[in-house]
Amino acid sequence: MRPPTPTAAFFKKPGENGETVKSFDCDLQLHGPYAGGVSKYLSIPLLAEQSRLKGLEILVTGDIQHQKWFEHVNAHLIENQNGVYMDKDEKTFFIIGTEVEDHHRIHHLIYLPDLTAAAEFREKVKPFGILDCSMCGRPKLRQSPEQLSQIVSDVGGFMGPGHSFTPYTGLFSRYDSVAEAYGDQAKKIPFLELGLSADTDMADTILSNHQYAFLSSSDAHSAWPHRLGREWNRIRLKEPSFKELETAVWDRSGERIEFNAGLNPREGKYHATACNLCYTQYPLRDAIESFKMKCPACGGDIKRGVADRIKMLSDTPTGKHPSFRPPYKHQLPLAEIIQLALFAKSPMTKNVQSKWRDYIDVYKDEINVLIDAPESELIETNPEIGNKIKAFRNGLVYYTPGGGGKYGEPHLFDSQKEMDQFVLEAGKRSREKNKFSGQKSLKGF
């Protein structure tokens, strides 16, 4: 079992006189209670508490330019040093940051040196949008990516695109490259955030992406354990600080970002091309040429999926990565694994949450359970659930892909034979269901 400070493994970084750096598990995209579709109960104390149960050590504040959230953050965080803050229990670090929408609806993640810089950023963008309404946590600003980057640079921050490939608000929904979007400011962009529907293997099939660090973040709209930290990064820092985070995302030695962790892209709700009303999935060519992006099943709009958009831009073989690129670890939130083990309707049911808490009480945090704890101990704690965690670690999981705004569905199996049989039968059902549309089977996605 891992020691009580769960993600504090130490490493010696070569070439720096044996200087010690430490691994921190970070979720660098989430919201406060003033963005659309978020929990009204979000608060700094709640996020800090839940982050510790998840195993996260560094969070971003999110939505810092909203005046009420700024005041809440200022009241509930203590400045530590060097642009990092801590909750009043002094157990979770916070970096100041936000997410904004530009004049073409593209979303950008912004990280700032401290609350003083956040106040300065607010004043600079105030003329370009409404910042303080009940749904303005992620404000719509009448600025281009290039203009936003200049403002962020002026206040000493850095930025990059959020959920970069999603069809409505991702950078690649409109542009073919980061350079095209940010223009003369592109040289100041150190990273792109992958989003739930893409991973490193997919994003690196676009050669121009090889110059950027990749971040994977939850974009959590609540503090539920299957939302907060559903995607995260393990990053090596000399100390928690804004400057160290900035150094890490600019580093191209391969020694700072240790790995990305997140959902299998098929679980993302925009992975496959699909109708945004009935969620019927289509090959992109059929959707365009035969159906003119209108669903023949219900008449809804068909939305191009992340997988198809990346294929359109792909110019590099899958599996080819720049030398600094860390591995990507696919994750299922522990509550979803428990849900599958118990055949529960939701990861939020009382029984699932109770079993989730049983594991946390033993293993301190969820990341420990998913990645580090010995399988034999997990099975001893609860054989039914422990065996499902083992099955996930061994890759015995198949995803019915998500699309059109509906999350994909994971299926866990006790053996490869059982999984192969399920895939075969699912393919037959899919072909039968979709004869009229000329769709591919599930396997074809």
pLDDT at position 220 is 97
pLDDT of residue 6: 31
Per-residue confidence (pLDDT) for residue 429, from 0 to 100: 75
Q: Over range 179-187, report the average pLDDT.
A: 97
> How does pLDDT run across 141-175, given as a tens digit for each residue?
999 999 999 999 999 999 999 999 999 999 999 99
User: How far, in Å, CA of 260 to CA of 370, rounded?
Assistant: 14
Residue range 15-31, pLDDT digits in tens: 445 567 899 999 999 99
Confidence (pLDDT) at 426: 83
Given a cut of 90, is residue 80 above it in pLDDT? no
pLDDT tens digits for range 229-274: 999 999 999 999 999 999 999 999 999 999 999 999 999 999 999 9
Between CA 211 and CA 221, with CA 215 as vertex, the angle to 5 degrees is: 150
Q: Around Cβ 208, how many Cβ atoms within 10 Å?
A: 15
Q: How confident is the model at residue 440 (pLDDT cuts 50, 70, 90)?
A: very low
Please state the rounded mean pLDDT for residues 194-219.
Answer: 97
pLDDT at 194: 97
Taking each helix axis from N to C terminus, what angle separates 334-342 and 383-393, rounded to the nearest 10 degrees?
120
| pLDDT score recorded for residue 441 | 38
Print burial letters for 101-140: b (CB count within 10 Å at least 16), e (below 16). Answer: bbeeebbbbbbbbbbebbbbbbebbeebbebbeeebbbbe
The CATH classification of domain 10-266, taken from the options 3.40.50.170, 3.20.20.140, 1.10.10.10, 2.40.50.140? 3.20.20.140
The pTM of this model reads 0.91
**Stretch 48-65: mean pLDDT, rounded?**
97
**Does the pLDDT at position 139 exceed 70?**
yes
* Upper half-sphere CA count for residue 251 (Cβ side, 13 Å): 21
Does the pLDDT at position 409 exceed 60?
yes
Domain residue spans of the chain? 10-266, 334-397
List Cβ neighbours of 323 (8 Å cut-off, separation of 6 or more): 254
For residue 124, pLDDT beyond 50:
yes
Q: What is the mean pLDDT of residues 67-84?
A: 94
Distances in Å between the Cα of 231 and the Cα atoms of 52, 67, 264, 301 are 15, 28, 10, 29
Kindly tell me the sign of the dihedral angle through the C-alpha atoms of 294, 196, 173, 399. negative
Would you call 178 helix, strand, or coil by DSSP? helix
Query: How much is the average pLDDT of 337-363?
Result: 95
E strand or H helix that includes residue 80 = strand 77-81
Mean pLDDT value across residues 364-387: 94
pLDDT tens-digit map of 323-336:
999 999 999 999 99
Average pLDDT for residues 56-66, to the nearest whole number?
Answer: 97
